[in-house]
Chains A and B, each alone.
Chain A
Amino acid sequence: MANRTGALEQPAAARARAASLWGDAWRRLIRNRLAVVGGVIVVFLFFLLFFGPLVAPYPYQEQHLVELVENGNRPIGPFQGQFLFGTDDLGRDVLSRLLDGAQISMTVALVVQAVVLLIGLPIGAAAAWYGGRVDSFLMRFTDVMYAFPDLLFIILLSVTFRDTPIGGALDGVLMVFIAIGIVSWVGMARLVRGQLLSLKETEFVEAARAIGVSDFRIITRHLLPNALGPMIVAVTLGIPGAILAEATLAYLGIGAQPPRASWGKMVADGQQYLRGDPHLVIFPAIIIALALLSFTFLGDGLRDALDPKLKGKQ
C-alpha cells in the first residue's frame, strides 16, 4: 500500500523513510506468497481490462466460417492451427472472446465495488456518527434491503431500466453492474458502521473535537483512515462475489447481449457442446476460477497485513 501513504499527506522528506503503518502492512503483504501471486494475476486482469482487445489475436465477434466449414461445421478444438483455444460453434476465436470477457468481468469488479462504497459508506458512517434514531432508521432500512431476494431485484432493475439511456450503456451491462452493487452494499454499510462506532469513542476523536475539527472532517480525516484496512479487505473480497454474480446472470441470459462475450455467458453457451467440445466450457471456467482465487488470496493477504494485532508477529 505504498501509494496509500502518499494519500495521508506526509511531507516529502519523511515519505522516503516509509516507516508508516502502511509501510509495515506493505512489507507483511509482500512476504505472503499466495497474496503476491494473487496480486500479480489481479494486476494482469486489470491490464486486460484496458488492453485486452489490443492483444487479442482476432476481433471477438469475427466468425471464421471458412475454417469452420473445413472442420465439418463443428467447433475447432484447442491447441491446433491458428486458434490457440479453438473456436466456438459459430467459428469465433475463444481466446479473443475470453479477453473481451475480461473487460466485462473487471468492469464488474470496479463498478460494483464503487456502487457498494458509494451507498454503503455514507449510510454506515451516518448511522454510526449520529446514532439514536438516525442509526435505527438507517439500519432497519439496511435490514430490509438485506432481506430482499437479490436475484429478483437485479432482474427487476435490469428490466425496468432496459429502455433508458443508462440501461443501454455498455451494451446493457452497466445497469446489471449497478443492480448488483445496489444489492451488495449492505455488508459494507454494516462494516463501516461497526468500525466507526468503536472508533468514535476513542480519545483521539475527542482530541480532534477539542481543537475544533468539524464533524465531517472528523469522519473523513480521522475515522475513515482508521477503518480503511477492513474496508479494503471487504472490497477485495467482494469482487469475486460480484464476478460470480455477473457470471450467474449471464448464464441466465441477463446482461451482456450477443455478440459480446462474458465469461459466464461463454460457459452458458458452451454447455450444450460439453460432450463433444468441452474446451468451450473449460477455458472460461478456468479463468473465472483463477480470477476468483486471485482476488480471494489477495484479500486474505491484505486482511492479515492490515490487521494491527498481527503487528510484529510475522
Chain B
Amino acid sequence: MTVSDDRGQAGSPTVTELPDAVTIETEEGRLLAERLADDTRHARRLLEVRNLSTHFFTRDGVVHAVDDVSFDLDYGETLGLVGESGCGKTVTALSITRLIASPPGQIVNGEIVFDGIDILKLSNEEMRLLRGRKIGFIFQDPMTSLNPTLPIGFQIAESARLHLGLSRKASDDRAADLLGKVGIPRAKERMGDYPHQFSGGMRQRVMIAIALACDPMLLLADEPTTALDVTIQAQILELIRSLSEEFRTAVILITHDLGIAAGMCNRINVMYAGRIVETGKVDDIFEQPKMPYAWGLLDSLPRLDEVKGARLRTIEGLPPDLINPGAECRFSPRCKYVHDRCRVEEPDLSPREGEGHLARCFGTEPGGWIK
C-alpha cells in the first residue's frame, strides 16, 4: 500500500490498512475491503435500511424495540429520527453500527445496506473496519463517553491510528488539527489534557472530533445536545452542521426536540413504538403533518406567540408496551381521532402530498375522516 503525504491533514484520507490485521472471512467483507482501498467507488445510496427488526429477549418477554423499519439515506443528507423516549430511535442507530448489546438484543430481521455492503452479513471482526472508519457515532452524554484515564489527544488519535494506519506522530497531528476544527482553542497544547479538565460542551466537541477522525461517510448523532445547556446546544449543532457540510458527511440526528430537527435536517422520520409512523421532507412534516402523533409532538412545543403562563400541551397517555404489540394502530389508545378500524388493523405507510411523504394513518388517507 502506498502512503500519501497529506495524512496529517484532516482532509480526505485515501489509504487504508486493516486495523489490528483483521482477517476477512466473508464475501461481503471482501467487498468492504475493496471499498476501503478504493475510495472512489460508491453505491447508489449511502444507506438502505429494509424491514429492520431489533428485538430484546428479556425475562418478561420479547421487546419489539424496532419493528419493521425501512428508510433510505443519500450521501451528504441529514435525516432526523424523532419521537418520544423509548420509541426505538437509539436502537435503530445502534443497529446500524451493530452495537446492540447481545444478549439480550438481537437484529432478528431485515437488511442494512451501507454503501452497497450488507453489513448484517459481515463478521464481527469485519464490522470493526466500518465503525469509526466510515460510520462515526456521537453519544448522548459527553461526561461519561470519554475515558477518564486517557488524554483526549490519544482518544482522538486512536481512531485514525487504528483505521488509517497512521504513525504516532501523524495521528497526533491529525488529532490536533481536528481539535482545532471543532473549536477548542490552543488545540495543540490541550492534546495531553484529560477529560476532567474540559467542560461539558468542550467534551462534546471532543466527541465530535473523535467521530470525524477518519472522515466517515455517515455520522450518527444520538441526542448530542441533551446533556448540554441551551446556548451550548446551539453551538454544538452549528458545529455538526458546518463540519458535516465541510466533510460531506451524511448525518442521522436522533432527537426528541423537533426544533432541532427542523433546523438541522433535510428529511425526518417520526418514530413511535418501534415503527416509523411518518416520513418526509422537513417542510412537509412541519407544514402538513399527516399523523395525529406528529401533530401531538408539534403541538407540545412551547411557542413564542403563546399567552404567558399557559400550560404546555402534552400527548395524553403513555407509549404502549412493546412486548407483543397487537395488530392495532399502535397510537390508537392515545389518538383523539381514533375509529373502530384503527383498533383492529394497523395502517401501512402510504403516500401523502409531497415527495417521499409517507404516513401511517387511516384517518388521513384519501377518503379518510380527518380533515
Contacts and interface: CB of A to CB of B under 8 A. Distances in A.
B100 to A, nearest CB: 11
Nearest to B19: A212
B128 A214 contact: yes
B192 A14 contact: yes
A225 B195 CA distance: 14
Interface string B292-336: 000000000000000000000000000000000000000000000
B75 interface: no
Given A14-B191, A19-B197, A226 B131 contact: no
B210 A211 contact: yes
Nearest to A22: B149
Interface string B153-166: 11000110011000
A13 B190 CA distance: 10
Interface residues on B, range: 35 or more
Contact of A203 (B131, B136, B145, B151): B145
B149 A11 contact: no
Contacts of B144: 202-204
B207 interface: yes
B145 A211 contact: no
Contact of A210 (B97, B141, B146, B163): B97
Interface in B143-185: 144-151, 153-154, 158-159, 162-163, 172
Contact of A207 (B196, B210, B213): B210
B7 to A, nearest CB: 18
A21 interface: yes
B289 interface: no
Contacts of B19: 212, 214
A270 to B, nearest CB: 48
A204 B151 contact: no
A19 B193 contact: yes
A211 B191 contact: no
B326 to A, nearest CB: 33
B137 A9 contact: no
Contacts of B145: 203-204, 206-207
Given A9-B154, A10-B151, A21-B194, A209 B210 contact: no
Interface string A196-239: 00000011101111111110010001100110100000000000
Interface in A1-48: 8-11, 13-15, 17, 19-21
B29 to A, nearest CB: 14
B130 interface: yes
B158 A213 contact: yes
A211 B213 CA distance: 9
Contact of B150 (A8, A14, A202): A8
Contact of B141 (A203, A212, A226, A228): A203
Given A210-B137, A225-B150, A21 B196 contact: yes
Contacts of B196: 21
Contacts of B128: 212-214
B280 to A, nearest CB: 29
Nearest to B146: A204
A217 B20 contact: yes
A11 B162 contact: no
B191 A226 contact: no
Contacts of A210: 97, 99, 131-132, 136-137, 139
B139 A15 contact: no
B99 A209 contact: yes
Interface hub of B20, B189, B192 (most chain A Cβ within 10 A): B192
B191 A212 contact: no
B18 to A, nearest CB: 10
B192 A11 contact: yes
B189 A14 contact: yes
B181 to A, nearest CB: 17
B159 A212 contact: yes
B129 interface: yes
B133 interface: yes
Nearest to B129: A212
B227 to A, nearest CB: 11
Given A19-B193, A19-B197, A212 B149 contact: no
Interface of A: 8-11, 13-15, 17, 19-21, 202-204, 206-214, 217, 221-222, 225-226, 228
27 contacts: A9-B151, A11-B191, A11-B192, A13-B188, A13-B192, A14-B189, A19-B193, A19-B197, A20-B151, A20-B194, A21-B148, A21-B149, A203-B141, A204-B145, A206-B99, A207-B139, A208-B147, A211-B131, A212-B19, A212-B129, A212-B130, A212-B159, A212-B162, A213-B128, A213-B132, A225-B147, A225-B150
3 smallest beta-carbon distances between A and B, as pairs? A14-B192, A211-B132, A210-B137
